[in-house]
């Protein structure tokens, strides 16, 4: 069961503001506030800098950048939403998907001539300390599908009885290295993130954090928690086709979607919306569109897609949990917000409702996350009906 939500992004700095921000069309990219960005594309979808928490500034002697601080704030929101006190979270494992982690601190120090390096991925440890967890604290680094993997691992832990509740999230900050790498790859859009658009020119990053509380149904019921929704099933696959490019066949992303449906005990007809990976890179969007047709058949043209990255940017390691949180809110409100208007590429033969929010016709949302190296995940978030069974 998903019982708590927390988020900070360019679309809003709490869950209600985030949902309102999505309904209003999401955030807008801005120039990255860093000097000497000698790059073609240097915009991101950024959290209002006045809303970035100042603390915690250090952990175990290491200075902390934007990502870990955003993660602690979003985790606090999620625990409060779930009705869990930080002091009572000693046995709650923490699973965070983080790609660039604390990189902004390293970049700032190195540019100032400071030779001291700090840990790249302290975020999970920082959140674990902040909530008083003495359970497993794990950082998952599977690139842009990191939190898809983290959610699947947490699902397995709960099903196996290894944990009654797990805090799962992701957080990313500004990074010169990430911007530079995607510029050099020719995969960075200088205008905005435009998935499935005819004129898309790559992706555009966003910073922020999203965190969810997952619980066994029995545990949530005993403490009187009201679940938002159920993480019903998940699957992953790896095509290992290329270091950065997706496999044009789409076979392994079809496998991930198909096995996620099977794990949830559902069929394609049970899905009311898909939040695609949809990065805005030319090949990714076409391959995913074709894969959706292989999974959903003729129904694909009537199945709404919600292009989340067009509203908050590509949050890299945090993208999967941002999509999970968004899917949960869709089910709570029984609708999918209108997409950012685009001139859609005819090769991406999918339905992106752009003029209005559309009601969900079925009680489940599928999410896809893909990453460099062919690391693919899919998972299904289903409406909570009150009759789910769970581990003790």
**Averaged pLDDT for residues 157-183:** 94
- Residue 357, token pair as written in the block: 């929010």
The DSSP bridge partners found for residue 2 are 214, 229
- Read off the pLDDT of residues 45-55 as tens digits, 9 standing for 90 and up: 999 999 999 99
* Residue 175 to residue 39: CA distance in whole angstroms: 13
Q: Using DSSP, how many helices (H) and how many strands (E) does the chain show?
A: 11, 15
The rounded Cα 103 to chain-centroid distance in angstroms is: 19
In this prediction, residue 34 carries a pLDDT of: 86
In this prediction, residue 103 carries a pLDDT of: 82
In this prediction, residue 208 carries a pLDDT of: 97
- If you ran DSSP here, which 8-state letter would residue 350 be given? -
By C-alpha distance, which of 365, 325, 141 is closest to 234? 365
In this prediction, residue 391 carries a pLDDT of: 44
Mean pLDDT of the chain: 94
Whether 210 and 74 have beta carbons less than 8 Å apart is answered as yes
The DSSP bridge partners found for residue 96 are 139, 169
Least confidently predicted of 98-107, 247-256, 344-353: 98-107
**Averaged pLDDT for residues 184-207:** 96
- Read off the pLDDT of residues 211-268 as tens digits, 9 standing for 90 and up: 999 999 999 999 999 999 999 999 999 999 999 889 999 999 999 999 999 999 999 9
In this prediction, residue 387 carries a pLDDT of: 62
* Local confidence band at 102 (pLDDT 50, 70, 90 cut-offs): confident
CA torsion, ordered 235, 237, 243, 247, to nearest 10 deg: -110
- Read off the pLDDT of residues 119-145 as tens digits, 9 standing for 90 and up: 778 999 999 999 999 999 999 999 999
* Residue 145 to residue 97: CA distance in whole angstroms: 8
Question: What are the residues whose beta carbons fall under 8 Å from the beta carbon of 374, sequence distance 6 or more?
Answer: 238, 239, 240, 241, 242, 246, 247, 252
Sign of the C-alpha dihedral, residues 338, 79, 131, 1?
negative
DSSP 328-339: HHHHHHTEEPPP
* Residue 123 to residue 75: CA distance in whole angstroms: 11
**Averaged pLDDT for residues 366-377:** 96
Q: List, in order of start, the domains of the chain with CATH numbers.
A: 2-383 (3.40.47.10)
């Amino acid at each position: 069961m998903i019982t708590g939500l927390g988020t900070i992004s360019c679309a809003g700095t709490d869950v209600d503001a985030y949902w309102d921000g999505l309904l209003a069309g999401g955030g807008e990219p801005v120039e990255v506030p860093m000097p000497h960005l000698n790059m073609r594309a240097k915009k991101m979808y950024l959290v209002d800098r006045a809303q970035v928490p100042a603390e915690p500034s250090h952990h175990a002697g290491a200075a902390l950048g934007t990502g870990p601080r955003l993660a602690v704030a979003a985790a606090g929101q999620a625990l409060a939403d779930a009705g869990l006190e930080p002091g009572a979270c000693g046995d709650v494992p923490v699973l965070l998907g983080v790609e660039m982690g604390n990189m902004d601190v390293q970049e700032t120090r190195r540019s100032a001539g400071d030779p001291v390096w700090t840990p790249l991925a302290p975020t999970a440890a920082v959140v674990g300390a902040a909530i008083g967890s003495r359970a497993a604290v794990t950082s998952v680094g599977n690139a842009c599908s990191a939190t898809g993997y983290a959610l699947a691992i947490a699902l397995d832990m709960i099903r196996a009885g290894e944990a009654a509740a797990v805090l799962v999230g992701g957080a990313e900050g500004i990074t010169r290295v990430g911007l530079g790498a995607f510029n050099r790859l020719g995969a960075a859009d200088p205008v905005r993130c435009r998935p499935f658009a005819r004129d898309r020119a790559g992706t555009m990053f966003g910073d922020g954090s999203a965190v969810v509380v997952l619980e066994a149904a029995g545990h949530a019921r005993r403490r009187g928690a009201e679940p938002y929704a159920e993480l019903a099933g998940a699957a992953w696959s790896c095509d290992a086709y290329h270091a950065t490019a997706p496999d044009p066949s789409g076979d392994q992303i079809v496998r991930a979607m198909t096995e996620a449906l099977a794990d949830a005990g559902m069929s394609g007809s049970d899905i009311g919306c898909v939040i695609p990976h949809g990065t805005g890179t030319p090949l990714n969007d076409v391959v995913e569109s074709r894969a959706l047709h292989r999974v959903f058949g003729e129904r694909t043209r009537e199945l709404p897609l919600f292009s989340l990255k067009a509203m908050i940017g590509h949050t890299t390691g945090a993208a999967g949990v941002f999509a999970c949180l968004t899917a949960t809110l869709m089910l709570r409100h029984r609708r999918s917000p209108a997409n950012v208007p685009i001139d859609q590429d005819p090769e991406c033969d999918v339905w992106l409702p752009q003029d209005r929010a559309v009601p969900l016709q079925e009680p489940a949302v599928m999410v896809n996350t893909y990453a460099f190296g062919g690391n693919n995940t899919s998972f299904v978030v289903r409406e909570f009906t009150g009759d789910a069974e769970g581990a003790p």
